[in-house]
């Protein structure tokens, strides 16, 4: 019997490795098959063996043997030791450089916590990751330069001390800055806790610390780079996207949620490195299983190239000697919970509890000291193994690659954390552990220096510093580094949207249609058109955008391999390798990841791009709030469009569709401008101004605009309305000057503006009350203005006080103020303190319902009758009209005063 056959049989005989439950029912037969296979391998080579096996498996399937093939490979490195390319340069110098980075990263957390108890920071994660980063920095990651567009590296958020420590050695950060880690307010130049482009716009590119965000956004970044290339907007060939993810992080739906897209679209410019240190915050990631094996089959199933880096070089001789498979069997039997414990103990423990599982193995390591057993290293901590994996990953074509690297959480922290349950949050290290660390990593520091927790920077002409500099020079410069702006472009003139400015006459359209026309005009523009990226998650037909399918095409890396069912039609479903629309399918998380990639293209690719991502408003922020936040942090530029918005505008759909709060949700994003326009010209003015800010002024501006599907005629833009539209409110109808009848101020937003206009008519005809009617395009922008003014006045008590825009607008008018929107009352309430007279808000608080618009507006008490009632009530309270008018209105308009409150039903 051959070795291989014997080894497999052994496993089968006692059940381990056997398919199904019991052992092998016919061991002899099995051995004959295996021997036959061995003969093929040795005489005809492994390729022929694979071919035969594939045929056998196929054949078995036809014979009804069901799915057979496993997606898992044995629990050893994917790249055999014999095929590893050697690490170039001097491995000893590289190790010493890395030890210095490790030391400084640790020092900055310890020192920051010494100064400010409880300020936090993480030591254990970077400790496990250092080799994985440093091999990349020294050999693989290109910064943008003359001859390379630059790789994009998504660093793990909470391992930021590792990046800062390296930047310190490079001279990009000072020791003082390191000392001010996590003290960014009290010390200008202090370092942000995690990667935040908003806070360190020249340094960090990608906000990754909310777990899962780096994963999904890196996939869409890689996809967007292929798109840019296909459309001839940038040459992105040769550039890679690298993402560093934690093994615990892989539990996030966002982490695994788009891996199929990466496989399907063959994103071979994408490399993920999952740091399998086996632990998350509370404990083991898969104590009772093996995270590497689980992820291997997941990724392989999704079409990825999987490279496992499990064992370090010191295991090579033991694995080479493992002809009977006993070592492999123990490796496969042990679960991650045990692997963690091994590294929290010592060599004697590993001897007893790992090798001791098999007396033959115990014998095999009898010649090794406990110390030698302890030094048996893990693949992700071995620069040679990691280099080989990266080397293979960057050369792999046709698939994305994931590297599953086994490491140790808290590596080097010894008694202060290595492999311990609590290591994630360790921010302190005992003096003893620090001295041991110094010895273990051979740092040239005296005891005093260690105890004083000094940073260490070797002399400029030391081999370590020379390696640091020459490696980064060869790769184009330091990383991470962020580009803030690109070449400005001239924004289109408002004239481009003339059709919207002129109104529609009698014709009824929705604001969605008005927007689609704005978008179509932009796409047709010879100069700007190619810089526009429409993004849609399977809602184009909902929004009447299907005309764009044919006009600009839907991006698909393979073009269109089928004749579409509607090929005969003018606006057929056209997929195209040069297509412009990103039709994402049903994934809001994926779509906004595309938005982020496109919206930061000015920075990552030096190509100005303006994304317009249109989606079902309810499923936008609500589903992907954290990604919206990441878009803000990333300084993404572009437009989010919440279609079918408003709690009562979308008739028929009901509770889970009817959005009455996205404006509140967007009001919390500090740099997002949120607008609720009622008319086509408002949409045009807002978009045009946004384009000016984004393209010409290079502002990191990002917008949320709600669009409705209710059709009505759109008037032409009133003279001089532009400023008010942008600042948040302007009058659309004014009571005749000099008429002394009572007056109210009616504020309306979105389609509810039309209810306010109708209320004004009712008030005059039924009760002799006049009204000024205002379109409020943005309560949140008005609020921001008010807050700015208040702050200024507070801090400059001796200056002439500034006046908020709302206050100034209403100051010269008469009468109480009523606001009505299709959103919760809190939206209108945002401006309360700047309204100079009594103020009442109407809104759609409560779960949505499915019914007609008219019924819904009555139900939520935002229709024309309720607006009129609210106005009369305020006038009556002020003594401007008779006290009986509100009651008369209730009767006249058939309002049920005893109806249940919409919020409670």
Ligand X SMILES: Cc1ncc(C[n+]2csc(CCOP(=O)(O)OP(=O)(O)O)c2C)c(N)n1
Residues in the interface with ligand X (CB under 6 A) total: 18
Q: Does 590 bind Mg ion (CB under 5 A)?
A: no
151, 249, 382, 539: residue in contact with ligand X (rule CB under 6 A): 249
Q: How far is the CB of 423 from Mg ion (least distance, A)?
A: 10
Rounded Cα gap, residues 646 and 644, in angstroms: 7
Nearer to ligand X, 158 or 300 (CB): 158
* Residues 400-439 contacting Mg ion, CB under 5 A: none
Window contacting ligand X (CB under 6 A); options: 271-279, 442-450, 539-547, 596-604: 271-279
Query: Exactly one of 277, 634, 667, 751 binds Mg ion (CB under 5 A); which one?
Result: 277
Q: Name the one range near ligand X by CB under 6 A: 240-248, 542-550, 551-559, 712-720.
A: 240-248
Cβ 128 to ligand X, closest distance in Å? 6
Encoded tokens for 135: 């091999």
Residue 836 backbone phi and psi in degrees, to 5: -75, -5
Nearest-approach distance from CB 177 to ligand X, in angstroms: 23
State in angstroms the smallest separation of the CB of 5 from ligand X.
39
158 makes contact, choosing from Mg ion, ligand X, none, with CB < 5 to 8 Å by partner type, with ligand X
Long-range contact list for 280-285, CB < 8 A, 24+ apart?
A: 280/246, 280/247, 280/248, 280/249, 280/251, 280/424, 281/248, 281/424, 281/425, 282/421, 282/424, 283/421, 284/336, 284/337, 284/340, 285/247, 285/248, 285/250, 285/251, 285/336
**Cα–Cα distance measured from residue 887 to residue 897, given in angstroms and rounded to the nearest whole number:** 10
Q: Closest distance between ligand X and the C-beta of residue 277, in Å? A: 5
Residue 67 has a CB neighbour count (10 Å cut-off) of 8
* CB atoms closer than 10 angstroms to residue 282: 10
209 binds ligand X (CB under 6 A): yes
Phi-psi region of 66 (alpha: psi -120 to 50; beta: other; left: phi over 0): left
Cis-peptide into 480, omega within 30 deg: yes
Alpha helix ranges (H) inside 116-243: 124-139, 160-169, 175-179, 213-230
Between residue 716 and residue 745, which ones bind ligand X under the rule CB under 6 A? none
Distance between CA atoms of residues 527 and 699, nearest Å: 20
CA gap 402, 295 in Å, rounded: 9
690 binds, among Mg ion, ligand X, none (CB under 5 to 8 A by kind): none
Is residue 134 a contact point for Mg ion (CB under 5 A)?
Answer: no
- Specify the stretch interacting with Mg ion by CB under 5 A; choose among 79-87, 279-287, 547-555, 873-881: 279-287
Residues of this chain, 156-195, that bind ligand X according to CB under 6 A:
158
Quote the DSSP letter at residue 878.
T
Binding mask 77-116 for ligand X (x = CB under 6 A): ----------------------------------------
Stretch that binds ligand X, among 16-24, 242-250, 362-370, 661-669 (CB under 6 A): 242-250
Quote the least distance from Cβ 169 to Mg ion, whole Å. Answer: 26
Q: Which does 249 bind (CB under 5 to 8 A by kind): Mg ion, ligand X, none?
A: ligand X
Q: Does 340 bind Mg ion (CB under 5 A)?
A: no
B/e letters for 219-252, b = 16+ CB within 10 Å, e = fewer, are: bbbbbbbbbbbbbebbebeebbbbbbbbbbbbeb
Nearest to 515 by CA among 529, 500, 526, 536: 500
Among 248, 379, 417, 632, binds Mg ion (CB under 5 A): 248
Shortest CB 156 distance to Mg ion, Å: 9
Residue 454: beta bridge partners? none
Residue 420 within binding range of ligand X, rule CB under 6 A? no
Burial class (CB in 10 A: 0-12, 13-18, 19+), 16: middle
Nearest approach, Cβ of 159 to Mg ion (angstroms)? 11
Give the whole-angstrom CA distance, residue 137 versus residue 288. Answer: 35
The residue within the footprint of ligand X, chosen from 246, 476, 553, 846 (CB under 6 A), is 246
Q: Distance (Å, rounded) from C-alpha 108 to C-alpha 104?
A: 6
Residue 247 binds ligand X, judged by CB under 6 A: yes
CA atoms of 850 and 652, how far apart (whole Å): 4
Residue ranges in 122-161 that form contacts with ligand X under rule CB under 6 A: 125, 158
* Least distance in angstroms from the C-beta of 276 to ligand X: 8
- Identify the residue among 160, 279, 420, 436 touching ligand X (CB under 6 A): 279
Binding residue (CB under 6 A) for ligand X from 13, 52, 56, 281: 281
Q: Near ligand X by CB under 6 A, which window of 145-153, 244-252, 472-480, 854-862?
A: 244-252
Tell me the C-alpha distance between 192 and 198, whole Å. Answer: 10
Q: Determine if 277 is a binding residue for ligand X (CB under 6 A).
A: yes
User: Least Å distance between CB 125 and ligand X?
Assistant: 3
Q: Please choose, out of 24-32, 243-251, 362-370, 608-616, the segment that lies near Mg ion by the rule CB under 5 A.
A: 243-251
Instruction: Report residue 356 as tokens.
Output: 């001791």
Q: Measured between alpha carbons, how far is residue 339 from residues 72, 289, 311, 354, 418 in Å?
A: 19, 11, 12, 9, 12
Q: Closer to ligand X at the Cβ: 111 or 424?
A: 424
Chain-centroid distance of CA 706 in Å reads: 22
Smallest distance, Å, CB 443 to ligand X?
24
Is the Cβ–Cβ distance between 716 and 502 less than 8 Å? yes
Query: CB under 5 to 8 A by kind: which of ligand X, Mg ion, none does 210 bind?
Result: ligand X
Q: Which of 7, 142, 280, 517 binds ligand X (CB under 6 A)?
A: 280
Residue from 131, 211, 596, 684 binding ligand X (CB under 6 A): 211
Q: What is residue 582's three-state secondary structure?
A: strand
Decide: is 673 part of the binding site for ligand X (CB under 6 A): no
Binder of residue 211, out of Mg ion, ligand X, none (CB less than 5 to 8 A by kind): ligand X
**Token pair of 36 as six digits:** 């036959």
* Cα gap 781→94, rounded to integer Å: 53
Q: How many CA atoms lie within 13 A of 200 on its CB side?
A: 26
Is 622 a binding residue for ligand X by CB under 6 A? The answer is no
- Rounded Cα distance, 280 and 125, in Å: 9
Work out whether 248 is an interface residue with ligand X (CB under 6 A): yes
Residues contributing to the site for ligand X (CB under 6 A) = 125, 158, 209-212, 246-249, 275, 277, 279-281, 285, 409, 424
Residues contributing to the site for Mg ion (CB under 5 A) = 246-248, 277, 279
């Amino acid at each position: 019997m051959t070795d291989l056959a014997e080894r497999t049989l052994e496993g089968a005989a006692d059940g381990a490795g056997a398919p199904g439950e019991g052992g092998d029912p016919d061991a002899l037969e099995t051995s004959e098959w295996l021997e036959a296979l061995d003969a093929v391998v040795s005489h005809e080579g492994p390729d022929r063996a694979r071919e035969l096996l594939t045929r056998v498996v196929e054949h078995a399937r036809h014979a009804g043997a069901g799915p057979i093939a496993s997606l898992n490979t044995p629990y050893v490195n994917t790249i055999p030791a014999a095929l590893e390319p050697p690490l170039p340069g001097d491995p000893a110098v590289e190790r010493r450089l890395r030890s210095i980075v490790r030391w400084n990263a640790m020092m900055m957390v310890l020192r920051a916590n010494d100064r400010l108890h409880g300020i936090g920071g993480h030591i254990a994660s970077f400790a496990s990751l250092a080799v994985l980063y440093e091999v990349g920095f020294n050999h693989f990651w290109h910064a943008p330069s003359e001859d390379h567009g630059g790789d994009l590296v998504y660093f793990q958020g909470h391992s930021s001390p590792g990046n800062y420590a390296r930047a310190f050695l490079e001279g990009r950060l000072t020791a003082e800055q390191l000392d001010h880690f996590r003290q960014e307010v009290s010390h200008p130049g202090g370092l942000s806790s995690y990667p935040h482009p908003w806070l360190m716009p020249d340094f960090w590119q990608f906000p990754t610390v909310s777990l899962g965000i780096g994963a999904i956004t890196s996939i869409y970044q890689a996809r967007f780079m292929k798109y840019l290339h296909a459309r001839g907007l940038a040459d992105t060939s040769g550039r890679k996207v690298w993402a560093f993810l934690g093994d615990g992080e892989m539990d996030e739906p966002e982490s695994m949620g788009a891996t199929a897209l990466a496989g399907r679209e063959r994103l071979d410019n994408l490399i993920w490195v999952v740091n399998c240190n086996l632990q998350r915050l509370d404990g083991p990631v898969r104590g009772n299983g093996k995270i590497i094996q689980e992820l291997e089959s997941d990724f392989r199933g999704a079409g990825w190239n999987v490279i496992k880096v499990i064992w370090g070089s010191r295991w090579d001789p033991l694995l080479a000697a493992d002809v009977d498979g006993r070592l492999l069997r123990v490796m496969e039997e042990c679960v991650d919970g045990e692997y963690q414990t091994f590294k929290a103990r010592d060599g004697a423990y590993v001897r007893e509890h790992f090798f001791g599982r098999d007396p033959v193995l115990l014998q095999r390591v009898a010649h090794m000291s406990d110390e030698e057993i302890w030094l048996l290293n893990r693949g992700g901590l071995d620069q040679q193994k990691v280099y080989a994996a990266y080397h293979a990953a960057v050369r792999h074509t046709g698939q994305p690659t994931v590297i599953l690297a086994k490491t140790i959480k808290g590596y080097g922290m010894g008694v202060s954390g290595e492999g311990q349950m609590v290591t994630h949050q360790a921010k302190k290290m005992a003096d003893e552990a620090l001295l041991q660390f110094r010895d273990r990593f051979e740092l040239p520091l005296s005891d005093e220096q260690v105890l004083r927790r000094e940073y260490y920077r070797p002399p400029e002409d030391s081999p370590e510093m020379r390696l640091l500099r020459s490696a980064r020079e060869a790769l184009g410069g330091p990383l991470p580094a962020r580009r803030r702006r690109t070449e400005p472009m001239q924004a289109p003139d408002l004239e481009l949207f003339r059709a919207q400015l002129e109104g529609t006459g009698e014709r009824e359209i929705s604001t969605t249609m008005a927007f689609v026309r704005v978008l179509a005009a932009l796409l047709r523009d010879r100069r700007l058109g190619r810089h526009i990226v429409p993004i849609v998650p399977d809602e184009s037909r909902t929004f009447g955008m299907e005309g764009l399918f044919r006009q600009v095409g839907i991006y698909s890396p393979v073009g269109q391999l089928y004749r579409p069912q509607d090929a005969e039609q003018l606006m057929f479903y056209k997929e195209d390798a040069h297509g412009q629309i990103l039709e994402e399918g049903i994934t809001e998380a994926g779509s906004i990841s595309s938005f982020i990639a496109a919206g930061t293209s000015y920075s990552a690719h030096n190509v100005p791009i303006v994304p317009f991502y249109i989606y079902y408003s309810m499923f936008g922020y609500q589903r992907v709030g954290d990604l919206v936040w990441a878009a803000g942090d990333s300084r993404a530029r572009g437009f989010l469009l919440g279609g079918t918005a408003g709690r009562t505008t979308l008739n028929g759909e009901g509770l889970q569709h009817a959005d009455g709060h996205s404006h509140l949700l967007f009001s919390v994003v500090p740099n997002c401008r949120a607008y609720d326009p009622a008319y086509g010209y408002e949409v045009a003015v807002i978009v045009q101004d946004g384009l000016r800010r984004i393209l010409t002024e290079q502002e990191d501006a990002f917008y949320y605009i709600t669009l409705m599907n209710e059709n009505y005629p759109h008037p032409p833009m009133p003279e001089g309305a532009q400023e008010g539209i942008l600042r948040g409110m302007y009058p659309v109808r004014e009571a005749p000057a000099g008429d002394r009848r009572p007056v109210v101020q009616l504020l309306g937003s979105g389609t509810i503006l039309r209810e306010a206009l109708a209320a004004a008519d009712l008030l005059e005809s039924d009760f002799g009350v006049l009204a000024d009617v205002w379109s409020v395009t943005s309560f949140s922008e008005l609020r921001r203005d008010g807050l700015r003014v208040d702050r200024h006045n507070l801090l400059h008590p001796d200056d002439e006080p500034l006046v908020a825009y709302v206050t100034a607008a209403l100051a010269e008018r008469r009468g109480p103020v009523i606001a009505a929107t299709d959103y919760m009352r809190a939206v209108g309430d945002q401006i309360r303190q700047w309204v100079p007279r009594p103020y009442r808000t109407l809104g759609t608080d409560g779960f949505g319902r499915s019914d007609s618009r008219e019924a819904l507006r009555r139900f939520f008490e935002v229709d024309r009758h309720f607006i009129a009632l609210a106005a009369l009530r305020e006038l009556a309270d002020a003594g401007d009209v008779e006290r009986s008018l509100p009651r008369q209105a209730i009767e006249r308009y058939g309002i049920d005063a005893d109806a249940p409150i919409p919020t409670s039903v």
